Homo-oligomer: A and B are copies of this chain.
């Protein structure tokens, strides 16, 4: 059996991990045939140099069977993805904003589009939810879906510190973006719960109507008040069949399954009419976990 040839658009933390994981665990079935990067001048591993090409060229190249998009953002990702799908290629993306904003359009566009890595990093929640949504009437989904804010909340509590110094530190270590709005103000979690809600309900959610709050309002005082009531503050993204999606900071009782999920870990609890509760917990970000989700989409039948 000849190996499937992967074209990789993006070679940052996640892209490099996908390359490594294919070389390490999937080399019998896959090879990275081409790599497209924004900055051709940047130093790359020697073995990548020969594979470099333009993204527009990559998606149409005869020697690329599967396109993996890990650049993020709406443009040019959406046009590249559509072009690849038009060529009959499987497309694997980690692009949560793109999927959340264009879910109906992309489903209607047709083709083999997969996005396990777009939600909750390495947790295979899309795979699991897709099956459950066929066998159950899903009633609710609750999750800690943003690792950056969960890391900040955990550090605030552990070190009894206010948000700002922790955020600055997280930015310096690369855990948080220079512009932290997407994480801190709940947009990232909103995109992710919108995707899960779309799978559960079968149609795209209107992002403009999703109530959303982030963690900026969380002070050490609030956190201590919660602790006095034996609760912990978490940024919870929820979807229910009755009320739709929302992203809110909640003071969860200590015996709530999501209250004990710390640091960059993510967790999702799904409830259906036959399956009363299922919880998945794992690393919600990072090159290797995210790459595991992408590779899961590569091998999916």
Contacts and interface: CB of A to CB of B under 8 A. Distances in A.
B280 A292 contact: no
A231 B137 CA distance: 38
B283 A277 contact: yes
B24 A273 contact: yes
A257 interface: yes
Residue among A131, A132, A276, A289 facing the most chain B CB atoms (10 A cut-off): A131
Residue among A124, A272, A275, A280 facing the most chain B CB atoms (10 A cut-off): A275
Interface stretch (A65-73, A195-203, A293-301): A293-301
Nearest to A296: B131
Given A124-B131, A131-B299, A136-B292, 7 more contacts: A25-B135, A25-B273, A25-B274, A131-B296, A135-B292, A276-B283, A279-B279
A34 interface: no
A128 B298 CA distance: 14
B17 A295 contact: no
A123 interface: yes
A190 to B, nearest CB: 24
A300 B135 CA distance: 10
Contacts of A295: 134-135, 274
6 contacts: A24-B273, A127-B131, A131-B299, A257-B281, A279-B281, A301-B301
Interface string A1-33: 000000000000000010001001110000000
Contact of A274 (B123, B135, B288): B288
Contacts of A257: 281
A171 interface: no
Interface string A120-149: 001110011001101111000000000000
Contact of A135 (B21, B277, B282): B21
A281 B258 CA distance: 12
A279 B283 CA distance: 10
A260 B137 CA distance: 28
Nearest to A295: B135
Contacts of A132: 124, 292, 296
A122 B300 contact: no
